[in-house]
Amino acid sequence: MEYLWRRGKLGELWLSKEAITSLANTVMPPEYKAREATLQGDDNVANVIVVSPHSGDLAVKKELQDKLVNLFAPLGLKVKISWTSKEESFDAPALMNRLRKYPIFWGSVVAIIAGISQLGLKGLGLCILFGFIGWGIAGLVISGKLSDLFSSIMDRRH
């Protein structure tokens, strides 16, 4: 997308969104990226939308803002920065690459295949259900919440 920046006797000067974001990305620290940009030509203001990590350091943001102001100043542009946090997206191939390195993943796959072949879908479903129930009870016992639950029940009876 291109934005009309200036109009003069010699013609019009247009500035592209890609040019603004590419220029801004030259001074970005790792994990920061200029994703979008717009231009308010009448005010000579470049609006840059910067994607930052959730735990973006304020000092890094201030330093980046100063760098962008100094970068665009020779062009006669002021900079306005809008911050947005990095989007966490579901990446199935990356997840599979991480999972395939764990033996528990392969053990689970083999167990599911064996369960289907030996027990059928209904039997496997019951086994998985009871497995989750056992996992939940074990979590309650380990955290101590189960004993608190029993204590509160016993206190109500008396």
pLDDT at 70: 92
Per-residue pLDDT of 81-128, as tens digits, reads 988 887 666 678 888 888 888 888 888 888 888 888 888 889 888 888
Instruction: List domains and CATH numbers for the chain.
Output: 2-85 (3.30.300.20), 92-157 (no CATH)
Residue 137 sits at the vertex; the CA angle it makes with 133 and 138, to the nearest 5 degrees, is 115
Per-residue pLDDT of 41-88, as tens digits, reads 678 888 899 988 776 678 888 898 999 999 989 988 899 998 888 766
pTM of the model as a whole: 0.51
